[in-house]
Amino acid sequence: MKQSRTDEQTSVGDVLLDDAAAADELTPEQLAAQWEAEEPPPAGPLASMGSTLVVTALAGAAAVLSLGMGLGTPQQPDPGMWPFVVSVVAVVLCLAQLFLGRRGGDGEQFSRQSLLTVYGFLTFVGMVLLMPVIGFEIPSLVLCFVWMKFLGGETWRSATLYSVLVVVAFYAIFILGLGTSIPHLF
Amino acid sequence: MDFLQPALDGFSVVLEPTNLLYCLLGVTIGMLIGVLPGLGPAATIAILLPLTYGVEPVTAIIMLAGIFYGAQYGGTITSVLLRLPGEASSVVTVFDGYMMAKQGRAGTALGIAAIGSFVGGTVAIIGLTFLAPLVAGFALDFGPPEYTALALLGILLVATISNGNKSKALIAACFGLLLATVGRDIFTGGERFTFGNVNLADGIDFVPVAMGLFGLGEILHNLEERHRAAKAPAKVSNVWPSGADLRQASGSIGRGSVLGFFLGILPGGGATISSMAAYAMEKKRAKRPERFGRGAVEGVAGPETANNAAATSSFIPLLTLGIPANATMALMFGALLIQGVTPGPQLVQQEPELFWGVVNSMYIGNILLLIMSIPLIGVFVRILRVRAAILGPITALITLLGAYTINNSMFDVTLVVLFGAIGYLMKKYGFEPGPLVLAFVLGSLLESNLRRSLLVFEGDVTGFFARPISATLLLLFLLVAALPLIQSALRRRRTRGTSPEGMPAEDSDRTSVKENA
């Protein structure tokens, strides 16, 4: 998948161009409809229910934890009173959503493209773990390179060139220019 | 006319070189991100929050405000030239703007949009100048009960006017309120939801939450969204519109200014909604509505004027009542809090330099934008050639390193990454991050005012209804809360009674571009 991304992109570009030519005559309503069709498909009822269940559990847990902090009276509330009220409201809303669930806000289905987001997130985690140990330069360089080459489909040459440039620029701005105390190796 | 004196003094604040520079910086960044599809103004402001730590409050807000209204100008350019709306608020501009470009009138469309934006912005600033002190004066008598009611109403309105699922938006808002309780309880000193973590004892900072949910969340989401390859647009010539075009558009610009101004003040309103409303209004008013969608000047002038007027007037509730009307204003609120300034009715009197400095900076900003968007349009169009694959990691690194510089702590960076993942998942599962951030920012204000009120009322909740203003606000709250239930009941009855119609109205105004306002 990674190697073929550049080819894939050009072909998608061409298709879009054809689309654009064909779509030139569309009325605003048709154009809006076309945009809607290009949107990722909604996540569906199962995902909606699952996510709401998770959120309900979170709200329920918050309610239990707030109970543990003590409620007190409305006039002299203990720390738990306000979070308890809010989490109970949240639970009620969640249950309403579960059983009466309205249209709209369906979210988006996960696709193969979502893997890119997972990889992107992993580079963030790596950055958080490595930055305090070996400074920001090498993790940033790796992050840039991974994003440009593997997630963005740039060529080896431009990915290397731009990642180095970006890290040098950040070093110049954050360390030399602003004198921040971001952990750095050099 | 006494009140005009501080307003005039505000100009001396704006004309300080630092403030002018930050105003220019803000509007240029706004213009850039407006041109680039992907990051919206809310995400950009969130990412750049650390930048505001080192400067004066007024300078910080001048810059952030510049980003917000600058993006309204920039979003137009790609709508007209490429049929890619750079911002949600420029979606409707595509319909007629792109057709005008196809007819070789791209310059006219952009020129009219720039002039309309300038007029709309200026009218809104003048409205702001006169209306804001009045509202603030009225609100000076507000006590804790009024603030409680106002904050509740604000959160509810923002959640229900969002274009997604309303109950999900409200659930998100509840979680925002819960997040705001993390840390030490200011009244009793008891710890809440800290799980023994020292870093959480002082509560969660607003900046990592906003940077994560809006900034990193959007960057992560952009990774999987394939942006259409932007082809280099045709050369734009003849940007100055002719007298005939201007005459044709003048009515739309006037109506757009007024409509945008009022829609911007409403909680949950803002640039996106007002641009759509303006387009609908122009089409309805037109003698020959069939011209719309085929290159009608009014279809560009109305929405572009309205979105800029709304972007400006949405500062009114923030600066006079201390209630942010939309997610972007919630970020401004957070930025002011960081600076030790609590926005509210006292602001006009206690910090006239800040208040009038920010308001008057918008005049300068609008002039700068007019200059940038007419003669310099070619420069911004060239920005489109920068590929998303290169911009993505740069914005990600700015966010992560910027988060570190707030408190020099890795914990903040960790929080940003964590909230980035939460923001991404919220998007995927149809929960909007906007209401969460807004509720988070209002959370402690709401709780402390509620507790103070209950202290005054000796624990009697009905006390809220004994005061006219808080009673009115709460009644309004109940009405807004009950409205969806009533509507759906009516809809069910109608569908049962007649044929299954009446569905498309709600779907047709949903658009593919993300909500940023």
3-class SS string, chain A: CCCCHHHHHHHHHHHHHHHHHHHCCCCHHHHHHHHHHHCCCCCHHHHHHHHHHHHHHHHHHHHHHHHHHCCECCCCECCCHHHHHHHHHHHHHHHHHHHHCCCCCCCCCCCCCHHHHHHHHHHHHHHHHHHHHHCCHHHHHHHHHHHHHHHCCCCHHHHHHHHHHHHHHHHHHHHHHCCCCCCCCC
Mean pLDDT along residues B174-188: 91
Statement to judge: residues A72 and A96 lie in one domain: yes
Please list every residue in chain A whose beta carbon sits closer than 8 Å to the beta carbon of residue B193. Answer: 62, 65, 83
Stated as kind and residue range, the H or E segment containing B370 is helix B352-373
- Percentage of residues in chain A having pLDDT higher than 70: 80
**Rounded to two decimals, what is the model's pTM?**
0.85
Q: Where are the domains of chain B?
A: 4-456
Statement to judge: residues A127 and A153 lie in one domain: yes
Least Cα distance to A87 among A63, A57, A56 occurs for A63
Q: Is A3 on the interface with B (CB under 8 A)?
A: no
C-alpha to C-alpha distance for B277 and B256, rounded to whole angstroms:
9
Question: Based on the structure, what is the number of domains in chain A?
Answer: 2
Please list every residue in chain A whose beta carbon sits closer than 8 Å to the beta carbon of residue B460. Answer: 74
C-alpha to C-alpha distance for B439 and B445, rounded to whole angstroms:
10
Q: Give tens-digit pLDDT for B238-276.
A: 667 788 888 888 999 999 999 999 998 887 777 888 898
C-alpha to C-alpha distance for B206 and B406, rounded to whole angstroms:
11
- Tell me which residue has tokens 């030519």: A21
Residues in chain B: 517
Statement to judge: residues A51 and A76 lie in one domain: yes
CB atoms < 10 A from the CB of B476, how many?
Answer: 15
- Tell me which residue has tokens 């122009």: B282
Rounded to a whole number of angstroms, the distance from the CA of B371 to the nearest CA of chain A is 29
Question: Are the Cβ atoms of A82 and B451 closer than 8 angstroms?
Answer: yes
The B residues from 271 to 300 touching A (CB cutoff 8 Å) are 292-293
Give the pLDDT of residue A60.
95
Q: Is B255 on the interface with A (CB under 8 A)?
A: no
Last residue of a domain, one of A61, A78, A100: A100
Q: Is B404 on the interface with A (CB under 8 A)?
A: yes
Give the pLDDT of residue A24.
55
Residue A16 lies inside a defined structural domain of this protein: no
Which two tokens mark B279? 């387009």
Distances (CA, A) of B77 to B212, B228, B300, B380: 28, 16, 11, 8
Q: Is the pLDDT of residue B499 over 80?
A: no
Distances (CA, A) of B503 to A95, B498, B500: 25, 13, 8
Q: Is residue A75 within 8 Å of residue B455, measured between CB atoms?
A: yes
Question: Are the Cβ atoms of B102 and A24 closer than 8 angstroms?
Answer: yes
Question: Are the Cβ atoms of B174 and A93 closer than 8 angstroms?
Answer: yes
Q: Give tens-digit pLDDT for A50-100.
A: 888 999 999 999 999 999 888 888 888 888 999 999 999 999 999 988 887
Give the pLDDT of residue B62.
92
pLDDT band at B180 (very low <50, low <70, confident <90, very high): very high
Q: Is residue A85 within 8 Å of residue A67, measured between CB atoms?
A: no
A-B C-beta contacts closer than 8 Å: 233
What are the φ/ψ torsions at residue B352 (nearest 5 degrees)?
-60, -30
C-alpha to C-alpha distance for B54 and B77, rounded to whole angstroms:
33
More confident residue, A9 or B183: B183
Statement to judge: residues A80 and A124 lie in one domain: no
Q: Is the ipTM of this complex over 0.90?
A: no
What is the CA angle B512-A45-A51, rounded to 5? 90
Residues in chain A: 186
Which two tokens mark B310? 């709304």
Statement to judge: residues A52 and A79 lie in one domain: yes
Which two tokens mark B280? 């609908």
Distances (CA, A) of A39 to A35, B127, B165, B437, B510: 6, 39, 17, 25, 11
C-alpha to C-alpha distance for A93 and A91, rounded to whole angstroms:
5
Supply the range of the domain harboring residue A136.
Answer: 114-177
Tell me B387's DSSP state: -
Least Cα distance to B355 among B34, B48, B62 occurs for B62
Give the pLDDT of residue B509.
39
pLDDT band at B507 (very low <50, low <70, confident <90, very high): very low
Give the pLDDT of residue A178.
82
What are the φ/ψ torsions at residue A184 (nearest 5 degrees)?
-140, 155
Q: Is the pLDDT of residue A101 over 60?
A: yes
Question: Are the Cβ atoms of B190 and A78 closer than 8 angstroms?
Answer: yes
Query: Strands (DSSP E) along B69-225, which ranges?
Result: 183-184, 191-192
Residue B86, sorted as left (phi over 0), alpha (psi -120 to 50) or beta, turns out to be alpha
Q: Is the pLDDT of residue A2 over 50?
A: no
CA gyration radius for chain B? 23
Q: Nearest Cβ partner of A74 from B393, B454, B507?
A: B454
The alpha carbon dihedral of B167, B147, B358, B59 has a sign of negative
The A residues from 94 to 133 touching B (CB cutoff 8 Å) are 94, 96-97, 100-108, 110-111, 113-114, 116-117, 120-121, 124-125, 127-128, 131-132
Q: Give tens-digit pLDDT for B377-421.
A: 777 777 777 777 888 899 999 999 999 988 888 999 999 999 999
Please list every residue in chain B whose beta carbon sits closer than 8 Å to the beta carbon of residue A100. Answer: 167
pLDDT band at B160 (very low <50, low <70, confident <90, very high): confident
Residue A183 lies inside a defined structural domain of this protein: no
Statement to judge: residues A131 and A161 lie in one domain: yes
Coil, strand or helix at B192 = strand
Please list every residue in chain A whose beta carbon sits closer than 8 Å to the beta carbon of residue B484. Answer: 102
